Structure 1
């Protein structure tokens, strides 16, 4: 089942009744409505005049619904997730904590190989030369000791957009702000899947910044970034690669990311469901019953 994403950009009062999310608007011309909580995968709160009851927050968390809060610039800044997301969480955490360094290096190698292969396939879709990317993907060592990820990323961003002097910088020129927004949605979706598999999003296989609470999410989302890039490229192309305002319409397009169809292990799947397959495969690697991480292939 594809979980829904709700986006609130206007003032609203959100509560719960009979396992429904009840939405009431202060404006007289807007009709109150309700949505089954079990259908929700993510709730994004953009407006500063939104009120939630604690009862609703509790039910959303019990449903493993990611609650994303935005700042006054309308950018996602926080993610509310349950402390426990799986009935066997303690057992699963033990495997995660006991994962050996060689295993984590091998998992990171698999991650980067798939990320670079997806970048090469994206170039092929955009009729750009991706031979260097394809070649680099074949030479990634354990732990990516030669930093092929960094080399590939530099080449990828220098040649993706038809924008002079474009570089990937969160504070850089358009469409960097669209990428920032899309990656924030992807990161929240990834953290949701990690917790649903009974793992800690804080403990990464490569990222280990002490100030980063989502190191594992940042690891596993790497091969998925391409789907954000692809969507942002289309949006940018529609605007002739000019400066783009992050309007509500643009945000609604980016909020489609969790529901995008991707191919994983030979099957078509919504991206949010694919993330759950990826995090489940990671646990099986930690457990020792598998050595293969499942990631989507960009086609």
Structure 2
């Protein structure tokens, strides 16, 4: 089972050797077995990559994230048509009825709000934000018709980062840049897993943007987003723009943080796979209750003896 997320700041050349990733620069050569890698984040846009390597990354379902001149993730490569029941999965996605998607979205948003409230309880303990998030959770309706998700986000970000904070997807302030970076890591890993199980990520549950190739990934990653917010809050005093190497490393390593899903503790990268497998089961049985959703853990209360898969 792949588990490593490789962060590459500078590489003169990346190629394949005996099913290993080989990264070379003037200083050294690093070799990593492809079977160990879940995802690669490449910051150096001057690196040379061989076509054979890119092809092999897809064969191993390894997501490759490429950054722009500002070192922000802008591109993701995923395998095409690798699942043995690709057409069956595609028809299963197309056959989903709107009421069923509404039920799924209700459950996803509810767990996201619960996790947001848990983050506030673990950090600022802002009573106003906690109370408002509880209200949003109770007032949530099928398909989130009253848009409690957006209202909850307003209370959540204000309670966590202060009343002056404004969430922007395109911004160069340090908090928004860190959020954008971290959310992209979550989206990329979820997309990698969905591709592995034959899903077309354009066909979402709630997100339906014609310009978004990752609607389904954005849907299923929602309950995991608060984990990024928690890590950013924990490093708030060390944030700067552009983001530092250490902050990027912290955000990439979020995938190795534990959450609770299916009554077991999993690292996020494996919890996402459990969620996708449960999504398949929910589609096959037309029952939204089969969808497994992650709960945040207080890491201080996870002892060494706990099983974390």
TM-score of Structure 1 vs Structure 2, range by shorter chain: over 0.9
Residue of structure 1 equivalent to 2:218: 218
Kept in 1, the 8 Å contact 2:11–2:24? The answer is no
Residue correspondences, number: 292
Asked whether 1:54 is paired with 2:67, we answer no
> Which residue does the alignment assign to 1:132?
132
Q: Is the 8 A contact 1:16 1:22 kept in 2?
A: yes
1:12, CA displacement in angstroms?
Answer: 2.4
Distance in 1 of aligned mates of 2:81 and 2:269? 19
Alignment of 1:100-111 (within 5 A): 100-111=97-108
**Corresponding residue number in structure 1 for 2:306:** none
- Deviating above 3 A after TM superposition, structure 1's stretches of 4 or more consecutive aligned residues are 242-245
In structure 1, which of residues 29, 33, 36 is the aligned counterpart of residue 30 of structure 2? 33
Deviation at 1:135, TM superposition (A): 2.8
Where does the alignment leave 5 or more consecutive residues of structure 1 unmatched? none
- Helix, strand or coil: the match of 1:269? strand
Question: Unaligned 5+ residue runs, structure 2?
Answer: 298-309
Which of 1 and 2 has higher RCO (CA within 8 Å, sep 6+)?
Answer: 1
**Could you state the TM-score of these two structures normalised by the residue count of structure 1?**
0.93
2:76 paired with 1:79: yes
- CA deviation map 1:123-174 (0-9, x unaligned): 1111222122123213311111111101111111122114x51111131633
**Residue 111 of structure 2 contacts residue 295 of structure 2 at CA under 8 Å; is this kept in 1?**
yes
- Matched residue, 1:235: 235
Deviations 1:224-279 (A, max 9, x none): 1011001111110x44xx75541112111111022221111211111111111111
Please tell me whether the aligned partners of residues 96 and 283 of structure 1 are also in contact (alpha carbons under 8 angstroms).
no
- Distance (Å, rounded) in 2 between the aligned partners of 1:157 and 1:142: 24
TM-score (structure 2 length as normaliser): 0.90
Q: Within 5 A, what are the aligned runs for 1:1-299?
A: 1=1, 3-25=3-25, 27=26, 30-126=27-123, 127-129=125-127, 130-162=130-162, 165-170=164-169, 171=171, 173-236=173-236, 238-239=237-238, 243=240, 245-288=242-285, 290-292=287-289, 293-299=291-297
Distance 2:218 2:285 in 1: 23
- Asked whether the equivalents of residues 262 and 270 of structure 1 are also in contact (C-alpha less than 8 Å), the reply is yes
Equivalent residues of 2:174, 2:243 under 8 A apart: no
